[in-house]
Copies of this chain bind each other. A is one copy, B any other.
Amino acid sequence: MPLPPDRLLRAYRQMKTIREFEERLHVEIQTGEIPGFTHLYSGQEAVAVGVCEHLGDADWIASTHRGHGHCIAKGCDVTGMMLEIYGRRDGLCKGKGGSMHIADMSKGMLGANAIVGGGPPIAVGAAIACKARRDGKVAVAFGGDGSCNQGTVFEAMNLAVVLKAPAIFVFEDNGYSEHTGADYAVGSRDIAGRARGFGMPAETCDGSDFFAVHAAMARALELARNGGGPSTIEAKTTRFFGHFEGDPMLYRAKDEVARHRETMDCLRIFRARVTTEGLLDDAALDAVDAEVMGLIDRSVAAARSAAPPTAADLLTDVYVSY
């Protein structure tokens, strides 16, 4: 059953928002105004949106160091995020978190995480809460190909299987963990196979194809919501930028990114499919593009002019009470 046009358009808008958010950050970072280091999600949008399109605010996701896409797909406020990345007082985390620690419980976003492998156990905990409350909600753990070598991830997978927790593990294999290829570091290069080794269903899909991810997630979700326990989705994808901003990418063939932008761009692939199949027309998509550019412009302008945190902010929020 194809998605109705309004949901398709929303999915496109989210993917486009992520893309422009990231492409714009890539530019703004050159100005030196953005503190710290930033990991851009550009190229992987179809995974975040294909998965989160199914979820409501009361479902949960746990994200990674490369978290902007997951945040936007899960509904976090784009301007609040931009302010946070700039380290502003009115940022989503009051400037205390930054790019790698954006979270919003009201949107079911359990946090980006600067510790590779930090998120999956947390997502399983949220799934346990859903199960205990019998609220029919699920929790999704995002992770990269590199994260699938971290022991915490396997502990989380096994625990979810044992408890039949409504948890879904989404691995985005973008080919690299930092400067090292997945074909080197992922022993089997078969993340789905690992998941099956733990006793859960797992499938591999094309992470540049929104519809492929969306369909895989539909199956995982049905299982989880019907008490069938966890499952895994391995999405093959690519990142259009370096590991972090400033990475010279010596480990990638010179033309690799250009080639991937040509052949693995989820926005192009989406547009081609929906227009060919007559589900949406170019005009509607162009309108979204314009709308998104405006949103990003406004959020950058807001972030630039926003006030920084003050000395008083340093000592608050460590404890609820102490």
Q: Does A157 contact B (CB under 8 A)?
A: yes
What 11 new A-B contacts, CB under 8 Å, besides A151-B154, A189-B199?
Answer: A151-B155, A157-B187, A158-B187, A162-B184, A187-B199, A188-B198, A193-B196, A194-B194, A194-B198, A195-B197, A197-B198
Chain A count of residues within 8 A CB distance of the other chain: 27
> 8 A-B contacts, Cβ less than 8 Å apart?
A149-B158, A151-B152, A151-B155, A161-B187, A162-B185, A187-B200, A188-B197, A194-B198
Q: Does A150 contact B (CB under 8 A)?
A: yes
Q: Does A62 contact B (CB under 8 A)?
A: no
Q: Does A203 contact B (CB under 8 A)?
A: no
Q: Does A289 contact B (CB under 8 A)?
A: no
A132-143 interface code vs B (CB 8 A; 1 in, 0 out): 000000000000
Q: Does A124 contact B (CB under 8 A)?
A: no
Number of copies: 2
A78 to B196, CA, bound (A): 43
Chain B residues whose C-beta falls within 8 Å of the C-beta of A266 in the assembled complex? none
Q: Does A300 contact B (CB under 8 A)?
A: no
A199 to B193, CA, bound (A): 9
Chain B residues whose C-beta falls within 8 Å of the C-beta of A157 in the assembled complex? 187
Chain B residues whose C-beta falls within 8 Å of the C-beta of A57 in the assembled complex? none
Nearest Cβ on chain B to A127's Cβ, whole angstroms: 14
A200 to B188, CA, bound (A): 8
Chain B residues whose C-beta falls within 8 Å of the C-beta of A20 in the assembled complex? none
Residue of A158, A162, A187 with most partner-chain B CB within 10 A: A187
A151 to B155, CA, bound (A): 5
Q: Does A47 contact B (CB under 8 A)?
A: no
Report whether B196 and A197 are in contact in the complex, using a CB–CB cutoff of 8 Å.
yes
A158 to B187, CA, bound (A): 5
Q: Does A104 contact B (CB under 8 A)?
A: no
